[in-house]
Amino acid sequence: MDPERIRRLSYEELKQYTDNFSEENYIGKFQFGKVYRGKIEWAAFGGTQHLTVKIWEVPEIYGYYPGDNEERMMDEIILLRHEKLIHHPGMVKLYGYCLEGDHLGAVYDFKPLDTVYNLLLKDDFTWLQRIKVALGVARLLKFLHARNPLYEPFIICNVDPAHIMLDEEYNPKLIDFGMITGGIFPDRTIYVHYVYGSFGYIDPYRIKAGNTWTEKSDVFAFGVVLLSLIAKRAYTEEDRGTCIYGHRWAEDEYETIESIKLSKRSLVHGSLEAEPGFYSTDGAKITRLAMQCVEFYPVDRPTMNDVVKHLLKLQIVKHHAGFLGMDQVLSGHDMKMTSSPFGYLRAFFKQKRLDNL
């Protein structure tokens, strides 16, 4: 990526993009700040460029030391300009950043629909759209967890539906990397270890064992997100007052249906089961997968590679591959990460050439 295309922006420009951070443009909170819709009116071209604007603030409920957010922002800039990541469909494209005194912000070249968190309880967030989100996030985590000779896997550490933004076609994009470690950040431990993750999506084994982050911590958090998607459940601030874990309800409900045949145990919300694209066998399979992801011991959890394989076997994926963007995957022509850190880019441009034939 051309370094000149990453703009250093003033705080005044961020205010202009968001109409002075208006309530109308406010999307929601993330772990370390707030997210807004933004836009630039290009009078000379008669067009509008839609943006996502993220500002960092001092966290209200998470551990914090002076300078943490500056480090988070600079690491994010490095990450989003890395040649391995800039073309991945699950990563946002960085338009610019703001570093002006206490004002810290990142601007993404991306028109947001809403966060997954804000949509979880919505009746018009359909079963098919939820599966598309689950698949997209799972495939991104699988990609980030891939090993190669140069560095260890990336670990997000704070997978959270508030950190997953959707575009108007319900393609998910990850918008926060405030706790990412591993990969090109092998020594990034100063402000990662004293924060356990996002409340509701915290790995209970890591709290008890006190060990370092692993890919299985992301698997656990993904499992909670998956449960939230299929059951239309959102972990709220009120929930935080009684329990920091967002999966306890699922454990309790799953126990109550233990007497039911395994192939019929489902935590999918009734309104989603009633939709035309729902297959009853999928309900039990995806419920079982989510429950495996939130097993207490990491060794009992699947890898994200396993998760993707299981999701691809769902009937809804086979019958709606086009909408889900899975045509090439199911036909065996998916872009695969190779051992080379540039393998994804090679596959990307190879596919682009094939598409142009």
Residue 286 has pLDDT above 90, yes or no: yes
Which amino acid does the sequence have at 268? V
Share of the chain above pLDDT 70, in %: 84
Task: State the Cα–Cα distance between residues 167 and 2, nearest whole angstrom.
Answer: 25
| Token output for 13 | 């420009």
Distance of CA 7 to the CA centre of its chain: 25
Find the mean pLDDT for residues 143-172.
93
The confidence score (pLDDT) of residue 193 equals 53
Dihedral angle sign, alpha carbons of residues 218, 267, 296, 192: positive
Find the mean pLDDT for residues 195-212.
81
Extract the runs of DSSP E, i.e. beta strands, from the chain: 7-9, 26-30, 33-42, 47-56, 94-100, 103-108, 114-115, 154-155, 164-166, 172-174, 181-182
**Mean pLDDT, the chain, whole residue set:** 86
Q: Choose between 286 and 354: higher pLDDT.
A: 286
Extract the runs of DSSP E, i.e. beta strands, from 101-153: 103-108, 114-115
Q: For the chain, count helices (H), then strands (E).
A: 15, 11
Which residues contact residue 242 at a Cβ distance below 8 angstroms, ignoring those fewer than 6 apart?
none
Which amino acid does the sequence have at 146? A
Task: Specify the pairing of strand 154-155 against strand 181-182.
Answer: antiparallel
Q: Tell the residue number behind the tokens 């935080």, with chain if given.
A: 240
CB atoms within 10 A of CB 38: 27
Q: For residue 41, what is the DSSP state?
A: E
Find the mean pLDDT for residues 54-78.
81
Residue 120 has pLDDT above 90, yes or no: yes
Q: For residue 178, what is the DSSP state?
A: T
The confidence score (pLDDT) of residue 4 equals 47
Distance spanning both ends of the chain, measured CA to CA: 26
Closest by CA to 292, choosing from 201, 211, 224, is 224
Task: State the Cα–Cα distance between residues 30 and 180, nearest whole angstrom.
Answer: 14
Q: In which band, very low, low, confident or very high, does the pLDDT at 349 lie, cut at 50, 70 and 90?
A: very low
| Token output for 188 | 């990034």
Task: Determine which of 161-165, 234-238, 333-337, 352-356 has the lowest per-residue pLDDT on average.
Answer: 352-356
Residue 146 has pLDDT above 90, yes or no: yes
pLDDT tens-digit readout, 311-340: 999 999 999 988 888 876 766 655 454 434
Q: Which pairs count as long-range contacts for 118-123, CB under 8 Å and 24+ apart, including other chains?
A: 118/27, 118/28, 119/166, 120/161, 120/228, 120/229, 120/232, 120/233, 120/234, 121/232, 121/234, 123/271
The confidence score (pLDDT) of residue 236 equals 83
Parse the chain into domains and list their residue ranges: 9-108, 114-330
pLDDT tens-digit readout, 10-39: 999 999 999 999 999 999 999 899 999 999
Residue 99 has pLDDT above 70, yes or no: yes
Find the mean pLDDT for residues 210-235.
93
Write the burial class of residue 316 (CB in 10 Å: 0-12 exposed, 13-18 middle, 19+ buried): buried
> In CATH, what number does 9-108 get?
3.30.200.20
Q: In which band, very low, low, confident or very high, does the pLDDT at 88 lie, cut at 50, 70 and 90?
A: very high
Name the fold adopted by 114-330.
Transferase(Phosphotransferase); domain 1 (1.10.510)
Closest by CA to 153, choosing from 95, 219, 210, 209, is 219
The answer to whether 158 and 222 are in contact (CB under 8 A) is no
The confidence score (pLDDT) of residue 17 equals 98
The answer to whether 129 and 277 are in contact (CB under 8 A) is no
The confidence score (pLDDT) of residue 305 equals 97
Which amino acid does the sequence have at 345? L
The confidence score (pLDDT) of residue 54 equals 97
pLDDT tens-digit readout, 232-265: 999 887 777 677 788 888 988 888 877 676 667 8
Residue 1 has pLDDT above 70, yes or no: no
